[in-house]
């Protein structure tokens, strides 16, 4: 029988009479990974803050208790709580960049924690830091001790965060979306590391995430949260084999992205072809900003987009996939190569000659919060492109009718036309972005990570909408993404990109089931998968 480390009993939180958490109870045993799963706003991060007693002042605990090794945390005075934080309970965050102090070397930051909680001698501290760095598999730990956070990559920073968390040998580690900001291959490495450390140290981990696939790899015990309530708790195998609550079933279904029965036609017509495309960004230095070299963001890329179909462009951050999208839109200067659309090389055209083609190629963005001008009404946002490119009716009242039709088409309400973007949720904003692109009746839409900022269930809705629109209007998509799991759900063909080059292109079944290039194989192996398709 393993002892209980943390026990949350009937925890309820309120802010201004609004109930944020409703009687949440769970128990974490020694050496167990407990996953708290839910969409944004479900209260999972609030739970972790309540455990650390770091809740904002506006939120108060209305009932319940949290016990660490059978000692209630709520009755502890603040100075004792400070000892609990960091020593008994440690935390790692989603964004390693903002969690590390940029003006201290990473070694000093780990050393500081050890000094405060363990009170070791200077040499002993340094030795301990280096052994910790070795444990989290940081290369050249002695060297890295003197590095600053900005010199490290995202994955390395997260390793340092883990080292800080482990420094005082805590009983419980709270990992709040620790891999969400990382690339797939790095995510796989960090998860493997966490798993290894957890096994070696018999550590208990409270793992907070929205990603079902990650949960299936990591967790022993799973709790699903929605709107401040725990809907279902189960052991991992039971959870994935026999989910009981309808919401859980829906979550798993949305996460699975079953392959759509897309009919396969051989040799489809090509809408757009990119030949040997090169985009170089100059590196400027010195007083007169002379160009001293180039960053080859896109280096001789050749790909083609099938008509009425979807090409998924997959790659990790910094691989240049978004730049290709921008180059097709002629929003970045092209250093060489051709973008051929309707037998016309767009790369050679100036702004005026390009205008007719602007109507035919449109774009949807990743961040629904920065994609819409906060000072314009939804109606004016959609109207802008219509007026600029001369699509649709000229008269204002008729334009309003046209815009309302579009809003209905993307499953929004007509009345939204006079509202402002801040009144909408992320998913609704993404729909508005889609309506804006559709307003000019494009033939190709470049979707630049349109779902990566959205929750699982919203993501599934947006993908369904995109598919529906494609069937209705025969529009083609260039779907740029880092998330391999959604590729089968949306794409017909896929191109894999690495460091500015396309390493592999082919139909989805070809590439996903029988990858040829080693990088594609690594990518596919790293992507967390759900164990069972329901």
Partner 1 sequence: MNIVLLWTDMLVWILVIVVAIWGLFISRSSQVQKQWHTVFKSSIAMASAIVLLFYLLFTLLDSVHMHFTANATASNGQTVQYKAETVSLLDLIFVHNLKSTERTYSAPFATHEYSKSVIVDDKGVTRQGYLPLRYVSKKGNLVEKSLFAVLVGLFISSLIILLHLFWQSSGNFKSVFLKNWKAQSVLPWRTAYLTIIFLVVLLTWLYMLSFDYHVLGTDKVGGDVLYQSFKSIRTGVLIGILTTLIMLPVAVLLGVSAGLFGGWVDDAIQYLYTTLSSIPGVLLIAAGVLSMQVMMDAHPSWFETTLERSDLRLLFLIMILGITSWTGLCRMLRAETLRISQMEFVTAAKAFGVGNLMIILRHIVPNLMHIILISVVLDFSGLVLAEAVLSYVGVGVDPTMYSWGNMINQARLEMARDPMVWWSLFSAFVFMFILVLAANLLSDRIQTVLDPRNK
Q: Which of residues 239-258 bind partner 1 (CB under 8 A)?
A: none
Q: Which is nearer to partner 1, 326 or 517 (CB)?
A: 326
Q: What are phi and psi of 505, to 5 degrees?
A: -140, 140
Residue among 164, 212, 389, 460 that touches partner 1 (CB under 8 A): 389
**Alpha-carbon torsion, ordered 168, 173, 174, 177, to 10 deg:** 100
How near is the Cβ of 490 to partner 1 at its closest, in Å? 20
Which of residues 372 and 469 has its CB atom nearest to partner 1 in the complex?
Answer: 372
Would you give the DSSP letter of residue 85? I
Select the span of 193-201, 220-228, 433-441, 500-508 touching partner 1 (CB under 8 A). 433-441
Neighbours of 240 (CB within 10 A): 20
Q: List residues bridging with 362 in a β-sheet.
A: 445
Pick the piece of the chain touching partner 1 (CB under 8 A) from 92-100, 247-255, 379-387, 503-511.
Answer: 379-387
Nearer to partner 1, 450 or 515 (CB): 450
CB of 63 to partner 1, least distance (A): 32
Give how far Cα 91 sits from Cα of 11, 101, 136, 173, 501, Å: 20, 15, 15, 6, 38
**Total residues found in the chain within this entry:** 534
The string over 421-459, giving b where at least 16 C-beta atoms fall within 10 Å of a residue's C-beta and e elsewhere, is: beebebbbbbbbbbbbbbbbebbbbbbbbbbebbbbbbb
Residue 64 or residue 282: which is nearer to partner 1 going by CB?
Answer: 282
Do β-strands 71-72 and 221-226 pair in parallel, antiparallel, or remain unpaired?
A: unpaired
Which x/- pattern, by CB under 8 A, does the window 335-374 give for partner 1?
----------------x--xx--x--xxx-xxx--xxxxx
In three-state form (DSSP H/G/I as H, E/B as E, the rest C), the secondary structure along 461-480 is HHHHHHHHHHHHHCCEEEEE
Using CB under 8 A as the binding rule, whether residue 331 contacts partner 1 is answered as: yes
Q: How far is the CB of 41 from partner 1 (least distance, A)?
A: 18
Whole-angstrom distance, CA of residue 20 vs CA of residue 34: 21
* Binding segment toward partner 1, per CB under 8 A, in 135-143, 258-266, 378-386, 467-475: 378-386
CA pair distance 150, 84, nearest whole angstrom: 30
Q: Which is nearer to partner 1, 3 or 390 (CB)?
A: 390
Confirm or reject binding of residue 385 to partner 1 (CB under 8 A): yes
Report the site for partner 1 in 278-297 (rule: CB under 8 A).
Answer: 289
CB count in 10 Å sphere of residue 246: 10
Binding mask 65-94 for partner 1 (x = CB under 8 A): ------------------------------
Q: How many CB atoms lie within 10 A of CB 350?
A: 8
For residues 337 and 274, the answer to whether their CB atoms sit within 8 Å is: yes
Q: What is the nearest approach in angstroms of partner 1 to the Cβ of residue 432? A: 11
Would you give the binding string for partner 1 spanning residues 187-226, x where CB under 8 A is met?
Answer: ----------------------------------------
CB of residue 377 to partner 1, shortest distance in Å: 7
Give the nearest distance from C-beta 373 to partner 1 in angstroms. 4
Q: How many residues bind partner 1 (CB under 8 A)?
A: 32
Q: How far is the CB of 257 from partner 1 (least distance, A)?
A: 25
- Minimum CB separation from partner 1 for residue 393, in Å? 17
* Tally of CA atoms within 13 A in the half-sphere of 123 that contains its CB: 0
Burial of 194 (0-12, 13-18, 19+ CB in 10 A): buried
Contacts (Cβ under 8 Å, ≥6 apart) of 369: 426, 429, 453
Q: Contacting partner 1 (CB under 8 A), which of 360, 420, 457, 499?
A: 420
Q: Which two tokens mark 69? A: 């090794």
Q: Which positions touch partner 1 (CB under 8 A)?
A: 289, 326, 329, 331, 351, 354-355, 358, 361-363, 365-367, 370-377, 381, 384-385, 388-389, 420, 422, 433, 436, 440
């Amino acid at each position: 029988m393993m002892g209980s480390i943390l026990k949350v009993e009937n925890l309820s939180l309120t802010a201004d009479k609004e109930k944020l958490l409703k009687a949440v109870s769970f128990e974490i045993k020694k050496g167990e990974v407990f996953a708290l799963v839910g969409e944004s706003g479900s209260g999972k991060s609030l739970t972790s803050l309540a455990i650390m007693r770091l809740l904002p002042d506006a939120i108060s605990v209305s009932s319940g208790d949290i016990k660490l090794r059978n000692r209630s945390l709520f009755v502890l005075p603040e100075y004792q709580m400070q000892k609990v934080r960091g020593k008994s309970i440690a935390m790692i965050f989603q964004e390693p960049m903002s969690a590390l102090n940029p003006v201290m070397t990473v070694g000093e930051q780990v050393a500081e924690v050890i000094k405060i909680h363990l009170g070791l001698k200077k040499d002993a501290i340094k030795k301990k830091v280096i052994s910790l760095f070795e444990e989290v598999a940081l290369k050249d730990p002695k060297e890295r001790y003197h590095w600053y956070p900005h010199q490290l990559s995202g994955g390395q920073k997260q390793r340092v965060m883990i080292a800080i968390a482990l420094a005082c040998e805590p009983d419980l580690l709270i990992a709040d979306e620790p891999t969400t900001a990382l690339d797939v291959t790095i995510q796989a490495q960090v998860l493997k590391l966490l798993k290894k450390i957890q096994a070696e140290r018999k550590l208990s981990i409270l793992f907070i995430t929205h990603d079902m696939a990650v949960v299936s790899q990591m967790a022993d015990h799973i709790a699903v949260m929605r709107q401040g309530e725990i809907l279902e708790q189960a052991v991992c195998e039971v959870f994935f084999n026999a989910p009981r609550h309808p919401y859980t079933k829906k979550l798993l279904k949305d996460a699975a992205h079953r392959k759509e029965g897309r009919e396969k036609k051989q040799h489809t017509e090509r809408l757009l072809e990119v030949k040997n495309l090169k985009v170089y960004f100059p590196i400027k230095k010195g007083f007169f900003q002379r160009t001293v070299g180039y960053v080859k963001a896109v280096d001789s890329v050749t790909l083609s987009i099938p008509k009425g179909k979807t090409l998924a462009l997959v790659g990790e951050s910094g691989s240049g996939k978004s730049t290709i999208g921008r180059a097709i839109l002629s929003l970045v200067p092209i250093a060489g190569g051709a973008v051929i659309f309707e037998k016309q090389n767009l790369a050679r055209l100036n702004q005026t000659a390009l205008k007719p083609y602007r109507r035919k190629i449109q774009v949807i963005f990743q961040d629904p919060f920065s994609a819409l001008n906060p000072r314009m009404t939804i109606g004016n946002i959609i109207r802008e492109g219509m007026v600029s490119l001369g699509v649709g009716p000229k008269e204002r009242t008729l334009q309003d009718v046209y815009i309302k039709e579009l809003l209905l088409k993307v499953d929004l309400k007509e009345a939204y036309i006079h509202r402002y973007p801040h009144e909408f949720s992320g998913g609704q904003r993404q729909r508005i972005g889609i309506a804006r692109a559709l307003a000019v009746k494009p033939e190709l839409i470049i979707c630049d990570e349109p779902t990566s900022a959205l929750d699982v269930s919203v993501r599934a809705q947006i993908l369904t909408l995109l598919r529906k629109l494609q069937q209705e209007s025969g529009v083609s998509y260039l779907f740029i993404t880092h998330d391999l799991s959604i590729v089968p759900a949306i794409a017909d063909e896929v191109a894999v990109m690495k460091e500015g080059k396309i390493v592999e292109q082919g139909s989805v079944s070809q590439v996903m089931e029988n990858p040829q290039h080693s990088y594609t194989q690594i990518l596919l192996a790293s992507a967390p998968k759900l164990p069972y398709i329901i």
